[in-house]
């Protein structure tokens, strides 16, 4: 039986956004140019257009633009436990941007993680993923970046903490964790699956967020197994687990709907994932987003899907009483929209009953949603979203803990309780 009655939503399908850069290259173009003088003009404009699209897929703008700043002029500060990285200007400005780069320089950055002068780049620029991008796509992105008007904007240098600022350490890091190489299709899979894998693993750099990182900031695996996002107080759920955001039992159409509109009958994207959808995924071609959905679905397709959180704990009287306090707060502040049965309103207010992102072992995302509220991204498919009010100004930490504990354990939900300390830790840092 299909699990029609089960409503859960994946709140934070964050592929991410944060770390992208797109640099340059000059390829064997010099040769092509000589022989293709006549055809060069139209080809060039097609390449630029294609590059603009690919830059959207990779969301280069997301990182290489500061809030309210000029697109691609950089200056965005990425705070990590290793220091503050400031994204560079990648417009065609010759002084402050990459106007003096050639295709080869760009390729070197994207594929090998090296700057035009040969220095190794810090992997805050996700070349660990971009290395999978083909030369042809890299060239197109470079052509596009060179076509946008130069913007003169000098950005401050990175501020990297000791000892991570020592170059030899970066060299060791690269040996340990960086594997150079363009994506190689899996011949046993369909073209659509391979297209999705190419985009998810490469330009989409979903793994920049949906992963657990080790002490040295290296991604622990490539199955998008989820983890707290570096430098952000958000948890990127696993895309390969039914307990979190695995989509094996979803229809392809619904995965596509979530990734392009930000909302479905049972899911809504929020936090950094909402940003990725707003800035990037909603613009993907039907074919590309379909491929992504097919690839993502395949992570959990054969697991059969078990209902998350079926560990029924025996509830002690005092525990029940504790949860009842949360229930009273729920009734007062949440019930009007999410309903007394926690079923919400499909496509408008997400269901909390049977909602995996409410019950994930990390309570970070539900706590943040209660504290900060938020709107799903505005997209062509959902241009006028309904929103969740912030409760930070109304509820004390203890009360937020009570209400989140309640929703994690009401209507058949089962998950760990949340404390006021958890709530306090969830504040700040976007």
Partner 1 sequence: MLRFILLASFCMTCVTSVYGGTPIAVPDTMAERVKACTICHGAEDKVGRDAYYPRIAGKPQGYLVNQLRNFRDGRRYYQPMAILLENMSDEYLYEIAQYFSSLRLPYPAPEQIPMQSEEIELAEHLIYVGYPGRNIPACSACHGDVLMGIEPAIPGLLGLPRAYITAQLGGWRNGGSMRGQVPDCMSEIAKQLTDAEVNAIAKWLANQSASGEPRPFSTLLPELVHRCSQNIMANGSKE
Give the CB-side neighbour count of residue 245, counting CA atoms within 13 A. 31
**Residue 327 makes contact with partner 1 by CB under 8 A:** no
**Residue 336 makes contact with partner 1 by CB under 8 A:** yes
List of residues 6+ apart from 413 with CB closer than 8 A: 309, 342, 352, 353, 354, 355, 358, 359, 407
- Kindly identify the residues of this chain, within the stretch 264-283, that bind partner 1 according to CB under 8 A: 274-275, 277-278
First to last CA, the chain: 40
**Residue 389 makes contact with partner 1 by CB under 8 A:** yes
Quick one: 69 exposed, middle or buried, by C-beta within 10 A (0-12, 13-18, 19+)? Answer: middle
Place of tokens 């002490």: 215
**Residue 374 makes contact with partner 1 by CB under 8 A:** yes
**Residue 71 makes contact with partner 1 by CB under 8 A:** no
CB of 6 to partner 1, least distance (A): 14
Q: Sign of the C-alpha dihedral, residues 86, 87, 91, 95? A: positive
- Kindly identify the residues of this chain, within the stretch 244-263, that bind partner 1 according to CB under 8 A: 262
Report d(CA 302, CA 282) in Å as an integer.
28
CB of 62 to partner 1, least distance (A): 12
**Residue 377 makes contact with partner 1 by CB under 8 A:** yes
Q: Which is nearer to partner 1, 51 or 377 (CB)?
A: 377
Give me 237's structure tokens: 């759920």
Q: Which residue of 9, 12, 210, 343 would you call a contact of partner 1, by CB under 8 A?
A: 343
**Residue 67 makes contact with partner 1 by CB under 8 A:** yes
Q: Which residue of 340, 361, 396, 398 would you call a contact of partner 1, by CB under 8 A?
A: 340
Q: Residue ranges of the alpha helices (H) in 229-363?
A: 252-261, 271-279, 286-298, 317-333, 335-338, 356-359
Q: Which residue of 387, 398, 421, 424 would you call a contact of partner 1, by CB under 8 A?
A: 387
**Residue 386 makes contact with partner 1 by CB under 8 A:** yes
**Residue 323 makes contact with partner 1 by CB under 8 A:** no
Q: Which residue of 52, 160, 337, 420 would you call a contact of partner 1, by CB under 8 A?
A: 337
**Residue 392 makes contact with partner 1 by CB under 8 A:** yes
Cα Rg of the chain, angstroms: 23
* CB contact at 8 A, 254 and 10: no
Q: Which is nearer to partner 1, 213 or 427 (CB)?
A: 427
**Residue 390 makes contact with partner 1 by CB under 8 A:** yes
Place of tokens 């109304």: 394
CB of 92 to partner 1, least distance (A): 24
CB of 385 to partner 1, least distance (A): 7
Of residues 340, 364, 363, 365, the one with CA closest to residue 353:
340
The count of chain residues that interact with partner 1, using the rule CB under 8 A, is 38
CB of 232 to partner 1, least distance (A): 12
**Residue 388 makes contact with partner 1 by CB under 8 A:** yes
Of residues 340, 320, 321, 322, the one with CA closest to residue 330:
340
Say if strands 159-160 and 83-86 run parallel, antiparallel, or are unpaired. Answer: antiparallel
List of residues 6+ apart from 105 with CB closer than 8 A: 23, 24, 25, 26, 98, 116
Binding residues (CB under 8 A) for partner 1: these are: 66-68, 262, 274-275, 277-278, 336-337, 339-341, 343-345, 348-349, 372-378, 383-394, 430
């Amino acid at each position: 039986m299909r699990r029609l009655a089960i409503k859960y939503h994946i709140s934070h399908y964050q592929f991410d956004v944060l770390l992208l850069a797109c640099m340059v290259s000059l390829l064997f173009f010099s040769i092509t140019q000589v022989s293709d003088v006549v055809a060069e003009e139209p080809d060039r404009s097609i390449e630029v257009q294609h590059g603009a699209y690919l830059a959207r897929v990779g969301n280069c703008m997301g990182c290489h633009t500061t809030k309210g700043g000029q697109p691609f002029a950089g200056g965005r500060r990425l705070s990590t436990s290793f220091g503050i990285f400031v994204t560079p200007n990648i417009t065609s400005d010759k002084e402050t941007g990459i106007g003096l780069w050639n295709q080869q320089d760009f390729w070197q950055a994207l594929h090998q993680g090296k700057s035009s002068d040969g220095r190794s780049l810090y992997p805050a620029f996700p070349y660990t993923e971009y290395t999978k991008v083909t030369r042809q796509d890299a060239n197109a992105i470079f052509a596009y970046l060179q076509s946008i008007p130069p913007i003169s904007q000098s950005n401050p240098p990175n501020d990297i903490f000791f000892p991570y600022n020592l170059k030899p350490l970066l060299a060791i890091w690269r040996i340990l964790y960086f594997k150079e190489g363009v994506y190689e299709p899996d011949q046993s899979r369909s073209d659509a699956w391979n297209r999705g894998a190419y985009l998810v693993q490469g330009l989409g750099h979903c793994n920049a967020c949906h992963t657990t990182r080790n002490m040295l900031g290296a991604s622990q695996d490539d199955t998008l197994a989820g983890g707290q996002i570096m430098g952000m107080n958000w948890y990127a759920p696993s895309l390969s687990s039914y307990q979190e955001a695995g989509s094996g039992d979803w229809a392809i159409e619904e995965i596509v709907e979530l990734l392009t509109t930000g909302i479905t009958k049972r899911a809504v994207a929020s936090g950094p994932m909402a940003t990725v959808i707003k800035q990037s995924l909603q613009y993907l071609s039907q074919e590309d987003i379909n491929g992504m959905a097919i690839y993502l679905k395949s992570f959990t397709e054969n697991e059969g899907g078990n209902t998350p959180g079926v560990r029924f704990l025996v509830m002690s009287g005092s525990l029940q009483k504790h949860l009842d306090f949360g229930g009273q707060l729920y009734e007062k502040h949440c019930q009007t929209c999410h309903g007394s049965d926690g079923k919400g309103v499909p496509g408008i207010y997400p269901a909390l009953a049977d909602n995996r992102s409410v019950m994930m072992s990390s309570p970070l995302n539900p706590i943040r949603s209660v504290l900060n509220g938020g709107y799903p991204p505005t997209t062509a498919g959902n241009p006028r979203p309904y929103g969740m009010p912030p409760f930070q100004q109304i509820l004390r930490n203890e009360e937020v803990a009570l209400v989140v504990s309640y929703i994690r354990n009401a209507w058949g939900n089962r998950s760990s309780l949340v404390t006021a300390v958890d709530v306090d830790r969830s504040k700040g840092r976007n």
